[in-house]
Amino acid sequence: MEELVVESPFTEQEICVKCGLCCDGTLFSHAVLQKGERGNLPEKIEQQYGKEGESEFFTLPCAYFEGKCTIYNQKKAVVCSAFRCQLLKTFANGDVSQKDAIKIVTDALKFKAEIYQFYKQTFGVEFKLSFRELLAELNKMSPDTDPPNVPVELLRMKCNIYQTLLIKNFKSIKTFESMIESTVE
């Protein structure tokens, strides 16, 4: 396998290590591997390996993510170093300052913590899974109860708002615009 070395600028790394939304299962359910990476990855990533058709991946949240990457300066999957979220691209283009990018990250993490706290208040237990798994759990709950379960619906609304903010700030602008256009039709 040819080794692809990707070194992001230090100013990007400072934003990235404060965030982790791409590693903790908030933005994605899996990370795509390059051909030939399997067998050359850290043990816990190998344990999270999956394959669908020709696509190889490891599931998220990453087992090496504990509030931050615990193997940041070690060998890991190419995607771990190569992925650039929309916020990093916007920063690299000079459209947002490092200070503002870090504030966006801080606000996103704070909002997610508030959602998890609201979940705990609503159900009496802490939710330990990823945000994407929280969305899946909410989708299993029927919104058609009479009378409506107000706390569950409020939690669902908070998650929808959060997901929109994630798409706007961390995924591509095209994804955000297509989502907005589809709701207007």
Do both 176 and 101 map to the same domain? yes
**Number of compact structural domains in the chain:** 2
Residue-by-residue pLDDT tens, the chain, 185 positions: 444 445 567 788 889 989 999 999 999 999 999 999 999 999 999 999 999 999 999 999 999 999 889 998 888 999 998 889 999 999 999 999 999 999 999 999 999 999 999 999 999 998 888 998 998 888 888 777 767 788 889 999 999 999 999 999 998 766 656 655 554 44
CA dihedral sign, ordered 13, 60, 168, 103: negative
Do both 113 and 85 map to the same domain? no
Confirm whether 5 is domain-assigned.
no
Residue 45 lies in domain: 10-89
Q: Which residues of 142-176 are buried (b: 16+ CB within 10 A; e: fewer)?
A: eeeeeeeeeebeebbebbeebbebbbbbbbeeeeb
Confirm whether 141 is domain-assigned.
yes
Do both 117 and 164 map to the same domain? yes
Do both 127 and 54 map to the same domain? no
Q: Structure tokens of 1?
A: 């396998």
Confirm whether 3 is domain-assigned.
no
Give residue 176's pLDDT: 56
Give residue 11's pLDDT: 80
Confirm whether 156 is domain-assigned.
yes
Report the chain's terminal Cα–Cα distance, integer Å.
47
Do both 109 and 85 map to the same domain? no
DSSP states of 51-63: EETTEEEEESS-T
**Domain final residue, candidates 89, 121, 137:** 89
pTM: 0.84
Do both 85 and 17 map to the same domain? yes
Q: How many CB atoms lie within 10 A of CB 139?
A: 11
CA angle, 105 as apex, 107 and 50 as ends, to 5°?
Answer: 120
Give residue 129's pLDDT: 84
> Using CA atoms in the order 173, 136, 116, 12, what is the torsion angle rounded to 10 degrees?
-30
Confirm whether 78 is domain-assigned.
yes
Confirm whether 4 is domain-assigned.
no
Do both 128 and 174 map to the same domain? yes
**Domain final residue, candidates 46, 73, 89:** 89
Pairing mode, strands 30-32 and 49-52: unpaired
Confirm whether 105 is domain-assigned.
yes
